[in-house]
Chain A
Amino acid sequence: MQTTIVNAKEKATEAKTPQANAANVVVQQVSGSVAVMEAFLAEGVETIFGYPGGAIMPIYDALYDYRDKMEHILVRHEQGAIHAAQGYARTSGKTGVVFATSGPGATNLVTGLADAQIDSTPLVCITGQVFAHLLGTDAFQETDIINITTPITKWNYQVTDANEIPSVLAKAFFVAKSGRPGPVLIDITKNAQVQKFEYSGYSTCEFIRSYRPKPIVRKEYIQQAAEIINAAEKPFVVFGQGVILGKAEKEFKQFIERSGIPAAWTIMGLSALPSDHPLNVGMLGMHGNYAPNVLTNECDVLIAVGMRFDDRVTGRLDKYAKQAKVIHLDIDPAEIDKNVKATVPVWGDCKETLPLLTELLEQKCYPQWLQKFKQLEQEEIAACIYKELNPSTEEMTMGEVVKVLNELTNGDAVIVTDVGQHQMVACRYAKFNQSMSNITSGGLGTMGFALPAAIGAKFGAQDRTVVAIIGDGGFQMTLQELGTIMQCGVDVKILILNNRFLGMVRQWQELFHSRRYSFVDMESPDFVQLAKAYRIDGQSISNREDLKAALQEMLAHKDSYLLEVMVGKENNVFPMVEAGTSVSDIRLK
């Protein structure tokens, strides 16, 4: 056993060059579990988030010998592991890796998989499984995790023979990362983990015959798109996470700067373009800014870049941008025409397509059209932004907390948000200078996301300040991960905005259910005491005078810190596009 591991370790350095590796094939006996470790080393995995159990013990046993090569973060719940891996992937641009045992361990990954699938986050999750001969017998801790997770994974596969491990893991990493990224789950039976097999090295996968990660870029469409854009009078760009996933921030900036077109973002696209960029006109969608929502229905050309026209963004589809020619740039052909019919589909990775398009564009600017955005912005400031950021009430607002945080972090922090009012407020008001800084659960809206995601985000961006902004409700869905913070010593600033309600639900009940506050009144423990129990410092404040100093203290603190800010109980997030209405019917109060 020992000699095998030593050999395998030597192999690890070779594995970085798969060609060379294939050339001088050294066959040796290793276990399936060791092959998993070798695959990870070759794929450059540095951090694994996980939770052990019987069915994955051989893999954990192998990990013990690799513990100085890869970091393993022991979370307090598998859902925490997968959200942490998501946070890690989103700040590092790498693939997040998760370990979980069979049965309940595997099913605890379900929410995170669904979240990663809808937000296109690259993950490789390894679950242990019972011995192959027990499959389908309702053995102890056996669940059919492959069938459970089929609709929420980009790809999944069950390994029952160790011989499959190198090629299946290579395929897993390739599928997770390439094209439109997504989560992959590999379920490995216990016999395959312990089985010794003839291992001849690891080769990364760069091609699968049935899989085309990127569609072919069609020059004629680029040409058509350019003609339409050049002829436009009121063009408008809406962009999403595709810009970030494609690492195309620079190309995107060049595109809008040359074309002079105002650009608005979805919450998944937030931070791809600096907040203070003159052509950045704000946030789209349900709680987005007034101007971009209203002017969607006035533009003559709508250019969608790496976004998927989610219903939270479009409102009623039959009233969405009907007057506009739509140019849709997306790597996933299935997104084109799915919700909004494209006049010109520009299939491809926007890192490739944007420069081709920019090249054909005339240098332009649209002062009058931009002016319209500014005018409507003024209306929005007067109707709600000013009050939110400079409240005259005694109670603090979420917006003013974010505003002071901006002042203190200069837009350089990574902001991780949970789900609810604070999420919308943070996305609306947080300022960003650099990409991959806004980490949130966009498509699934998963409460309990922020705390573990912030842990992962910090591992993915170790030199940056990571602030998790969380509601009192969402925090209580995930507070066991304070234990993870305590044990691994990760530095995460936890900012709880406590309105003593499940705020977002309460807002809807107020607006649409005649204030019938049905089970949204939430009592919380003493969060500061709780943090102390986990040896995390913190304080709670409820006076405005203390806000700045408290945030300063949090940011200056050398380890993790929990700051609870008591905010107005019944504050609402406005503007708002009510469900089932058009984006131009957005209400300011």
Chain B
Amino acid sequence: MFKQEFTITIYTENTIGLLNRIAIIFSRRKINIESMNSSPSEIDGIHRFTIVINETEEVVRKLARQIEKQVEVLKAYYNSGDEIVWQELALYKVPTDEIAEKVKVERLLREFGARAVVIRKDYTVFETTGHREETEKLLKVLEPYGLIEFVRSARVAIIKDSHGFHEKLKEFEALNPSGELVTNEYLNQQEEVFDV
């Protein structure tokens, strides 16, 4: 099996230490994480991790199971590039003088779908979002003009075919909006809500 890029999406409880627990699953197997993003999800109290790695599908499948084994993880999915819609955000800081003098800024903004976030006398910050190649392109253009700083975010991704879990999770949360620990009132409904 060949290695390819996979995006792992993990729904978790929002607890301290979980990031470490998840990161260890990768580092223990000497798997390099390309990018990792953690943020709240559409459901209150549920966090969502998006992790990008290059691995064979077999390894990724096993990783997803190990991740799901963690007590505070609700679900881990893995998807290849064509199964997700994804974006990264990039910020570029360039000297305002240089840019104003030498570049047709409006053209640049139009061509790359960028926008100016901050314009100060000494520097300007542009922003673009898109796939890696897209944010890379503007970087290439700006580099010759004294690029001061560049930063790109981790990937965020929406799974194209993710309706199922979201609905389940929402139903579940509607049934069980309470805090961390509850007694077995909902235990019997667990099987209707989750599936392996």
Q: Which residue of chain A is the closest to B25 with respect to CB atoms?
A: A151
B131 at the interface (CB under 8 A from A): no
Verify A347–B183 contact, CB threshold 8 A. no
Binds A, one of B64-72, B102-110, B121-129: B64-72
Chain B residues, CB < 8 A from A167:
180-181
Partner of A333, one of B12, B28, B68, B187: B68
User: Nearest-CB distance from A132 to chain B (Å)?
Assistant: 13
Given A167-B180, A210-B12, A333-B196, answer yes or no on A175-B71 (Cβ-Cβ < 8 Å). Answer: yes
Verify A210–B13 contact, CB threshold 8 A. yes
Verify B65–A203 contact, CB threshold 8 A. no
Binds A, one of B16-24, B48-56, B85-93, B112-120: B16-24
Verify B186–A156 contact, CB threshold 8 A. no
Given A167-B180, A334-B66, answer yes or no on A147-B74 (Cβ-Cβ < 8 Å). Answer: no
Question: How far apart are the CA atoms of A362 and B104 in the complex, in Å?
Answer: 82
Verify A216–B183 contact, CB threshold 8 A. no
Chain A residues, CB < 8 A from B186:
207
Question: How far apart are the CA atoms of A377 and B28 in the complex, in Å?
Answer: 41
Verify A209–B21 contact, CB threshold 8 A. no
Chain B residues, CB < 8 A from A150:
17, 20-21, 24
B82 at the interface (CB under 8 A from A): no
Verify B196–A208 contact, CB threshold 8 A. no
A146 at the interface (CB under 8 A from B): yes
Given A215-B196, A333-B65, answer yes or no on A210-B73 (Cβ-Cβ < 8 Å). Answer: yes
Question: How far apart are the CA atoms of A158 and B20 in the complex, in Å?
Answer: 14
Question: How far apart are the CA atoms of A107 and B195 in the complex, in Å?
Answer: 38
Verify B71–A154 contact, CB threshold 8 A. yes
Verify B20–A211 contact, CB threshold 8 A. no
A206 at the interface (CB under 8 A from B): yes
Chain B residues, CB < 8 A from A215:
196
B150 at the interface (CB under 8 A from A): no
Given A155-B71, A215-B196, answer yes or no on A207-B184 (Cβ-Cβ < 8 Å). Answer: yes
A337 at the interface (CB under 8 A from B): yes
User: Nearest-CB distance from B30 to chain A (Å)?
Assistant: 14
Question: How far apart are the CA atoms of A22 and B183 in the complex, in Å?
Answer: 10
Verify A203–B183 contact, CB threshold 8 A. yes
Chain B residues, CB < 8 A from A157:
17
Chain A window 209-220, contacts with chain B (Cβ cutoff 8 Å), 1 for yes, 0 for no: 111100110000
A332 at the interface (CB under 8 A from B): yes
Verify B72–A210 contact, CB threshold 8 A. yes
Chain A window 18-36, contacts with chain B (Cβ cutoff 8 Å), 1 for yes, 0 for no: 1100100000000000000
Question: How far apart are the CA atoms of A211 and B12 in the complex, in Å?
Answer: 10
Q: Which residue of chain A is the closest to B176 with respect to CB atoms?
A: A209
A557 at the interface (CB under 8 A from B): no
Verify B69–A332 contact, CB threshold 8 A. yes
Verify B191–A216 contact, CB threshold 8 A. yes
Chain A residues, CB < 8 A from B20:
147, 150
Chain A residues, CB < 8 A from B68:
333-334
Given A332-B69, A337-B62, answer yes or no on A207-B182 (Cβ-Cβ < 8 Å). Answer: yes
Verify A338–B69 contact, CB threshold 8 A. no
Chain B window 162-190, contacts with chain A (Cβ cutoff 8 Å), 1 for yes, 0 for no: 00000000001000100011111111001
Partner of A212, one of B17, B176, B183, B190: B190
Chain B residues, CB < 8 A from A212:
190, 194, 196
Given A150-B24, A211-B71, A333-B196, answer yes or no on A205-B181 (Cβ-Cβ < 8 Å). Answer: yes
Partner of A156, one of B12, B17, B194: B17
Which residues of chain A in 198-256 are interfacial with respect to chain B, using CB atoms and an 8 Å cutoff?
Answer: 203-212, 215-216
Given A207-B190, A210-B72, A211-B72, answer yes or no on A338-B62 (Cβ-Cβ < 8 Å). Answer: yes
Chain B residues, CB < 8 A from A194:
none
Question: How far apart are the CA atoms of A333 and B12 in the complex, in Å?
Answer: 18
Q: Which residue of chain A is the closest to B188 with respect to CB atoms?
A: A207
A171 at the interface (CB under 8 A from B): yes
User: Nearest-CB distance from B81 to chain A (Å)?
Assistant: 24
Question: How far apart are the CA atoms of A347 and B61 in the complex, in Å?
Answer: 16
Question: How far apart are the CA atoms of A19 and B74 in the complex, in Å?
Answer: 27
Partner of A171, one of B12, B28, B181, B190: B181
Chain A residues, CB < 8 A from B62:
334, 337-338
Verify B71–A208 contact, CB threshold 8 A. yes
Which residues of chain B in 17-40 are interfacial with respect to chain A, using CB atoms and an 8 Å cutoff?
Answer: 17, 20-21, 24, 28
User: Nearest-CB distance from B186 to chain A (Å)?
Assistant: 6
Q: Which residue of chain B is the closest to A339 with respect to CB atoms?
A: B62
User: Nearest-CB distance from A443 to chain B (Å)?
Assistant: 15
Q: Which residue of chain A is the closest to B172 with respect to CB atoms?
A: A209
Which residues of chain A in 166-201 are interfacial with respect to chain B, using CB atoms and an 8 Å cutoff?
Answer: 167, 170-171, 175
Question: How far apart are the CA atoms of A155 and B69 in the complex, in Å?
Answer: 10
Which residues of chain A in 1-43 are interfacial with respect to chain B, using CB atoms and an 8 Å cutoff?
Answer: 18-19, 22
User: Nearest-CB distance from B125 to chain A (Å)?
Assistant: 34
User: Nearest-CB distance from A317 to chain B (Å)?
Assistant: 13
User: Nearest-CB distance from A174 to chain B (Å)?
Assistant: 9
For A22, A175, A206, the residue with the greatest tally of chain B CB atoms inside 10 Å of its CB is: A206
Verify B172–A151 contact, CB threshold 8 A. no
Which residues of chain A in 328-376 are interfacial with respect to chain B, using CB atoms and an 8 Å cutoff?
Answer: 332-334, 337-338, 347
Question: How far apart are the CA atoms of A211 and B71 in the complex, in Å?
Answer: 5
Partner of B187, one of A151, A156, A207, A210: A207
Question: How far apart are the CA atoms of A207 and B62 in the complex, in Å?
Answer: 25
User: Nearest-CB distance from A121 to chain B (Å)?
Assistant: 17
User: Nearest-CB distance from A212 to chain B (Å)?
Assistant: 6
Verify B195–A206 contact, CB threshold 8 A. no
Question: How far apart are the CA atoms of A154 and B62 in the complex, in Å?
Answer: 18
Q: Which residue of chain B is the closest to A151 with respect to CB atoms?
A: B24
Verify B181–A208 contact, CB threshold 8 A. yes
Question: How far apart are the CA atoms of A474 and B71 in the complex, in Å?
Answer: 35
Partner of B195, one of A151, A175, A216: A216
For A157, A205, A210, A215, the residue with the greatest tally of chain B CB atoms inside 10 Å of its CB is: A210
Question: How far apart are the CA atoms of A167 and B180 in the complex, in Å?
Answer: 9
Question: How far apart are the CA atoms of A421 and B17 in the complex, in Å?
Answer: 40
Verify B183–A207 contact, CB threshold 8 A. yes
User: Nearest-CB distance from A42 to chain B (Å)?
Assistant: 13
User: Nearest-CB distance from A166 to chain B (Å)?
Assistant: 9
Given A211-B72, A333-B196, A338-B62, answer yes or no on A170-B181 (Cβ-Cβ < 8 Å). Answer: yes
User: Nearest-CB distance from B31 to chain A (Å)?
Assistant: 14
User: Nearest-CB distance from A331 to chain B (Å)?
Assistant: 11
Question: How far apart are the CA atoms of A523 and B21 in the complex, in Å?
Answer: 43
Verify B195–A18 contact, CB threshold 8 A. no
Which residues of chain A in 436-474 are interfacial with respect to chain B, using CB atoms and an 8 Å cutoff?
Answer: none
Verify A206–B72 contact, CB threshold 8 A. no
Chain A residues, CB < 8 A from B73:
210
- In the complex, besides A157-B17, A332-B69, 14 extra interface pairs with C-beta distance below 8 angstroms are A18-B183, A22-B183, A150-B21, A150-B24, A205-B183, A207-B183, A207-B184, A207-B187, A210-B71, A210-B72, A216-B191, A216-B195, A337-B61, A347-B196
5 A-B contacts (beta carbon < 8 Å): A207-B182, A209-B74, A210-B73, A338-B65, A347-B196
Q: Please provide the 8 A-B residue pairs with the shortest distance between their CB atoms, ordered closest to farther.
A: A206-B184, A334-B65, A210-B74, A155-B71, A215-B196, A167-B181, A211-B71, A210-B13
